[in-house]
Structure 1
Amino acid sequence: MKVNNILKNYADLLWLLAGITVGSIVGLIFGKQVESIKPIGDIFLNLLFTAVIPLVFFAVSSAIANIDRNKKLGRLLTIMVLVFLSTILISAVLTLVATWIFPIHQALGNSTLTVENEKIQSFGEQMTQLLTVGEFFEIGSRKNMLALIIFSVLVGFSTLYSGKEGDGFKNFLVSGNEVMKKLIILIMKLGPVGLGAYFAYQVGVFGPQLFGTYAKALGLYYGVGAFYFIVFFTLYAFIAGGFKAIKVFWKNNIVPSLTAVGTCSSIATIPANLEGTLRMGVPAYIANVTIPLGSTLHKDGSSISSIIKIAVVFAIFGKDLVHVDTIILALGITVLVSIVEGGIPNGGYIGELLMISAYQLPPEALPPAMIIGTLVDPMATLLNATGDNVSAMLIARFTEGKNWMEQKNLSS
């Protein structure tokens, strides 16, 4: 009976692992030939992306609309921003120290990657496109996630302060949130096949490049990333709730981690994160605000990759990442990159363009940064997405008090 219960409880996880394992083996055996099955993974991702957009809207707006005003939403948002900013800067400083201990001195050969000429917009134009859209239908694009979240927050506040007149719409938001969560569960039934195909593509196409010219930079990134993932996430969980929180966090962070690595998308990991944080005991009103916002605004993995990219480009052009003004600018770029980079697979190169513009580097600096950004995407997404989960625990700790875990029935 115990064996049957274990198999029942972990059936979805075992199927997911089986699909990923088979996909990885296929990628190793057939190499780039697996590109032909990539559309299977793309179909799964497209279904997931399509459903995630309304899920984010309903999750964020319904969470805000249903907050008890005594919960002090302003306090929640303030704590959330401070936690996000703290972990981003901690990961950036850790990576800076790593680049000093393991410097990248060798010249990294010129890339043959073709780069389209892109206009570097002014800061004002970038902020306008980042925060808003010109037409309502554009709010439904995954490329405009931050604009969608801002709109959802405004709708939630409007509903919250509409009083009894807004009860009908509030019920609609709650109902919509439940429906979209069930839709996500239905789509995730295709996870073993979809993620398996995507893993096969990643291993088959990108795997060999890990041993190429950029091996040292990639090794440094994955080393720092793995260290941060294991050591610092454990430390954050301990701060949130002691040894009990460590156990609860890692037990319920498995599926989000696999989803993040398999999809290379923080947005696609939102459903798994929402379920995982609730199992960790994070109050729903915190999880439903923190996870969607974190998928766009909180990126520890992008923070690490930003510093690595700067170190690589500096090595190519014979610069040193040791001067105070250079370091401060690097940290500032890292914070901005964590905000402006999209949560889609290999999405946008705004961060690289921002770096080149800030340091007044030539266009030749872009291809190496783009290659590094592409090859570190799985680990970056793992840190970006699952970092939201441990951050949600920290936010619960500082919002609800040190005994917040005792107020929830945690899964054993």
Structure 2
Amino acid sequence: MSKRKITIGLVPRLIIAIIIGIIIGQLSFIPEWFIRILVTLSSLFSSFLSFFIPLMIIGLVTKGIADLTDGAGKLLGITALTSYISTLIGGTIAYFVAINLFPSFITVDLVEKITEAGGGVEPLFTIPLEPFIDVTAAIVLAFMMGLSISWLRGIGSGEILYKGIDEFEKIIVKVLEVVIVPLLPFYILGNFANMSRSGSVFAVLSIFWKVFLVVIIMHILYISLMFIVFGTYAGKNPFALIKNQIPGYMTAVGTQSSAATIPVNIECAMNNGVSEQIRNFVVPLCATIHLAGSMITITSCSTALLLMYDLPHGYGMILGFIAMLGIAMVAAPGAPGGAIMSALPFLPMVGIATDAMQQLMISLYLTQDSFGTAANVSGDNAIAVFIDKIYQDKIINK
């Protein structure tokens, strides 16, 4: 009888890493040089991450845009526009909830404790691993290549280029799965060991769990609102639609991947009465371009960090950040942790510029990444109901 291999999911591993990091930092008999080794490893991983991110943008975003040629004219445009608007609305709602609610538990004394603690110990050494292309150039290149390949495929050409970028995307996803995601717990362990040694960790954690709870509640309320609005427009019972979506939501929580949830999500769309043509078109497309759940999380966590470090946090600045991420994160949620990795280069836009702040941002995001993905895919099916109504009306009006 073969023994079943026991696997631990990413979120439990992150929680274990946080606990171990806090304990290591609190134990006085553990020498500072050991903490510095952990911080050094985190620093090296951070350098590799900076090198990898532009490549990830090129691979994922180019492929995501190139795939848009699978759409059907105006329906493609309406679906893409609806997804982007939903992403912007989700981020905007998250900002205003965060800015009004978070100050009630991110108090002045906690802010002072975090800022006075400083950055902790320094790494033993660093490696200047510079990206071969900067993030802005990577985005421009991804859009240029993606749109060009999409156009070529639309005129019956470009399959060689498409196959090349498809295989490059597979390489990027493999690196995420084999290197980036498995090493994230060690990266976070070093970060929390450093914060624990500096004295700021408990102030951070007292904020951490409350942000986590608020974000999940926002996810549920937002996707419920989407089903109520689009379901009512389509003449369907919104609560029946929400009930039918539960299997897709739970699958996404378990897989942490929009792409891996597509088969189950298509079945949910079928149970919601969405026509075969629309569900087979909208669900896979929105798994790539609809990012409302991820945006709610990233906006909330970013606002929390800005409040924690007493930095400017006006809506004008945040809106540009949300609008950019709505494009830059295309296709990223298909891989676990992909959304926050795509967002990292843009965090300095809102003042989240230091390694310590970015490491904390990764920690905040990844502990509930599965719930953000579940909100993304649930919203996909709400959009499918809306697009199907438009499609049916178009047929009826002929």
* TM-score, normalised by the number of residues in structure 1: 0.58
Q: Distance in 2 between matches of 1:394 and 1:145?
A: 33
Query: Closer, same or farther in 2 for the Cα pair 1:340/1:112, shift >3 Å?
Result: farther
Residues in 2 aligned to 1:350 and 1:365: alpha-carbon distance in whole angstroms: 16
Q: Which residue of 2 aligns with 1:154?
A: none
What is the correspondence of 1:328-407 to structure 2 with a 5 Å cutoff?
Answer: 328-339=319-330, 341-347=332-338, 349-356=341-348, 359=351, 361-401=353-393
Match of 2:36 in 1: none
Instruction: Decide whether the 8 Å contact of 1:353 with 1:366 is kept in 2.
Output: no
Which residue of the partner structure matches residue 240 of structure 1? 230
SS in 2 for 1:320: coil
2:271 paired residue among 257, 273, 279: 279
Cα contact 2:68–2:285 (8 A) shared by 1: no
Q: Deviations over 1:104-133 (max 9, x none)?
A: 453457589999856371423234347559
TM-aligned CA deviation for residue 350 of structure 1: 2.1
Q: Residue in 2 aligned with 1:91?
A: 90
Q: What is the alpha-carbon distance in structure 2 between the residues aligned to residue 320 and residue 233 of structure 1?
A: 30
Give the distance between the partners of 2:91 and 2:300, measured in 1 at CA.
9
How far did residue 319 of structure 1 move? Answer: 1.0
Residues of 2 paired with 1:96 and 1:144: CA distance? 35
Q: For each residue in 1:122-147, what CA deviation from the matched residue of structure 2 results, as whole angstroms up to 9, or x when unmatched?
A: 4232343475597835514655899x
Change (3 A) 1:355 1:333: farther
1:141–1:249: structure 2 CA closer, same or farther, 3 Å change rule? farther
CA 1:269–1:282: 2 relative to 1, 3 Å = same
Pick the aligned partner of 2:316 from 301, 314, 325. Answer: 325
- Post-superposition shift, 1:239? 2.6
Rounded Cα–Cα distance in structure 2 between residues aligned with 1:272 and 1:112 = 47
CA pair 335-141 structure 1, distance change in 2 beyond 3 A? same
Number of residue-to-residue matches in the alignment: 289
* Deviation for aligned residue 1:261: 0.3
Percent identical pairs in the alignment equals 20
The CA RMSD over aligned residues, in Å, is 4.4
* Match for residue 136 of structure 1 among 153, 163, 167: 163
Deviations 1:163-206 (A, max 9, x none): xxxxxxxxxxxxxxxxxxxxxxxxxxxxxxxxxxxxxxx9xx99
Q: Residues 310 and 63 from structure 1, CA distance in 2 versus in 1: closer, same or farther, beyond 3 angstroms?
A: closer
Determine the structure 2 residue equivalent to 1:168: none
Distance of aligned partners of 1:23 and 1:373 in 2 relative to their CA distance in 1, 3 Å threshold: closer
Amino acid at match of 1:96: Y
Measured in 2, the distance between the counterparts of 1:402 and 1:254 equals: 30
Counterpart CA distance in 1 for 2:279 and 2:353 is: 40
Contact 1:241/1:397 (8 A) holds in 2:
no
Summarize the alignment of residues 76-155 of structure 1 with structure 2, pairs less than 5 Å apart. Answer: 76-102=75-101, 103=103, 104-105=106-107, 106-107=110-111, 108=114, 119=131, 121-129=134-142, 132=146, 136-140=163-167
Q: Flag the 1:333–1:62 CA change in 2: closer, same or farther, 3 A.
A: closer
Counterpart of 2:74 in structure 1 is 75
How far did residue 337 of structure 1 move?
Answer: 4.5
Q: Contact 1:83–1:395 at 8 Å: present in 2 too? A: no
Alignment of 1:173-184 (within 5 A): none
CA distance in 2, matches of 1:358, 1:212: 22
Q: Does 1:261 align with 2:240?
A: no
Normalised to the residue count of structure 2, the TM-score between the two structures is 0.59
Q: Could you say if the C-alpha distance between residues 214 and 257 of structure 1 is closer, same or farther in structure 2, counting changes exceeding 3 Å? A: same
**Paired residue for 1:199?**
none
Q: CA deviation at 1:92?
A: 1.1
> Do structure 1's residue 270 and structure 2's residue 262 form an aligned pair?
yes
Match of 1:313 in 2: 305
Deviations 1:221-263 (CA, angstroms, capped at 9, x unpaired): 432432342x333332233333743133123212111110001
Distance 1:259 1:379 in 2: 10
Structure 1 stretches of 5 or more lacking a match?
1-21, 33-55, 65-72, 147-201, 405-412
Deviation at 1:338, TM superposition (A): 3.9
In structure 2, what residue type is equivalent to 1:346? Answer: G
Residue 283 of structure 2: aligned partner: 291
Comparing 312-321 with 295-304, greater Cα deviation is found at 312-321
Q: Is the CA contact (8 Å cut-off) linking 1:89 and 1:335 kept in structure 2?
A: yes
Cα distance in 2, alignment partners of residues 399 and 142 from structure 1: 32
Whole-Å separation in 2 of the counterparts to 1:360 and 1:378: 23
Give the 3-state SS of the residue equivalent to 1:282 in structure 2.
Answer: coil
Measure the CA separation in 2 of the matches of 1:392 and 1:145: 29
Please say if 1:227 is aligned against 2:218.
yes
Name the aligned partner's letter for residue 236 of structure 1. M
Contact 1:266 1:384 in 2 (8 A): yes
For residue 322 of structure 2, give the secondary structure of its aligned residue in structure 1.
Answer: helix
Q: Provide closer, same or farther for how the CA distance between residues 316 and 241 of structure 1 changes in structure 2, counting only shifts above 3 A.
A: closer
Unmatched 5+ stretches in structure 2: 1-6, 18-62, 150-160, 174-184, 193-200
Compared CA separation, residues 111 and 371, structure 1 to 2 (3 A): farther
The one-letter code matched in structure 2 to 1:379 is F
Assess, with a 3 A threshold, how the Cα gap between structure 1 residues 253 and 90 changes in structure 2: closer, same or farther.
same
**TM-fit CA distance, 1:316:** 4.3
Deviation at 1:403, TM superposition (A): 11
Provide closer, same or farther for how the CA distance between residues 352 and 222 of structure 1 changes in structure 2, counting only shifts above 3 A: farther
